[in-house]
A = this chain, B = another copy of it.
Amino acid sequence: MDIIYIIDILGTFAFALSGALVASKKEFDLFGVIILAFVTAVGGGMLRDILINAHPINWIGDLNYIKTIAIAVVFTFLFKSKIEPLRKTFFLFDTIGISVFTLLGLQKGLSYDLPSVVAIIMGMVSAVFGGVIRDVLTREVPLIFKKEIYASACLAGGLVYLVLKNFEVNENFSFIFSASVIILIRTLSVIYKLELPKIKDDLFKN
């Protein structure tokens, strides 16, 4: 699990950075930047832990999250103008991050003996709701509701993981394979600008 923990922290860093950048674009002050980095990075896991009554919740039980967020905020203050050109690098971190967040959330759900469907939802909440809280606090309609196929990637990866688990495939292999599914779907969807269908008209409208 060591590598997964490192990826978890790297993903947290990428999420915190994205929150800090949004905040600085909106001319928030230092405190606003910290809060936004914070909720973006750990908001999803925090909501998951509150919903399933897992105390101490993520960032209270492991102070490395707070430290990671602090570093990301300092980093943003020092190097903001240099971060933009690194966008692709951070997209990579971010994408690997959500894949790990999804699967760790799902595993946590299963370890609390939740039904599979609830565990999958917990994986998605972990990966997605940090961004939703960020968007609500900055008064944006949550991006996730409109564009990216982000959530579907998490869902697909979670389902793959459950199927593999069901067939008692090796744990590490299942984790890496499912994470790859998430990373692949998200990357392809961004490259090819895939979107989910919208309900403009219903199927039977004539």
Asked whether B114 lies within 8 Å of A60 as measured between CB atoms, the reply is: yes
- Whether A138 sits at the interface, judged by CB under 8 Å, is yes
Hey, which chain B residues are within 8 Å of A117, CB to CB?
63, 66
Hey, which chain B residues are within 8 Å of A151, CB to CB?
31
Out of B23, B36, B196, name the residue touching A29 (CB < 8 Å): B196
A53-B55, A60-B52, A132-B137 are known contacts. Are A201 and B80 too (CB-CB below 8 A)?
A: yes
* A36→B80 CA distance, assembly (Å): 35
Question: What sequence of 0s and 1s flags, for each residue 54-76 of chain A, a beta carbon within 8 Å of any chain B beta carbon?
Answer: 01110010010010000000001
Asked whether A27 lies within 8 Å of B66 as measured between CB atoms, the reply is: no
Asked whether B202 lies within 8 Å of A82 as measured between CB atoms, the reply is: yes
Question: What sequence of 0s and 1s flags, for each residue 117-137 of chain A, a beta carbon within 8 Å of any chain B beta carbon?
Answer: 110010000000000100011
**Nearest opposing residue in chain B for A55, CB measure:** B53
* A52→B66 CA distance, assembly (Å): 16
Asked whether A202 lies within 8 Å of B81 as measured between CB atoms, the reply is: yes
Question: What sequence of 0s and 1s flags, for each residue 191-206 of chain A, a beta carbon within 8 Å of any chain B beta carbon?
Answer: 0000111111111110
- Whether A173 sits at the interface, judged by CB under 8 Å, is no
**Nearest opposing residue in chain B for A28, CB measure:** B145
Asked whether A63 lies within 8 Å of B115 as measured between CB atoms, the reply is: yes
Asked whether B198 lies within 8 Å of A24 as measured between CB atoms, the reply is: yes
**Nearest opposing residue in chain B for A63, CB measure:** B115
Asked whether A146 lies within 8 Å of B28 as measured between CB atoms, the reply is: yes
- Whether A1 sits at the interface, judged by CB under 8 Å, is no
A76-B199, A118-B60 are known contacts. Are A142 and B147 too (CB-CB below 8 A)?
A: no
**Nearest opposing residue in chain B for A155, CB measure:** B31
Query: Chain A interface (Cβ within 8 Å of chain B)?
Result: 20, 23-24, 26-33, 35-36, 46, 50-53, 55-57, 60, 63, 66, 76-82, 114-115, 117-118, 121, 132, 136-142, 144-147, 151-152, 195-205
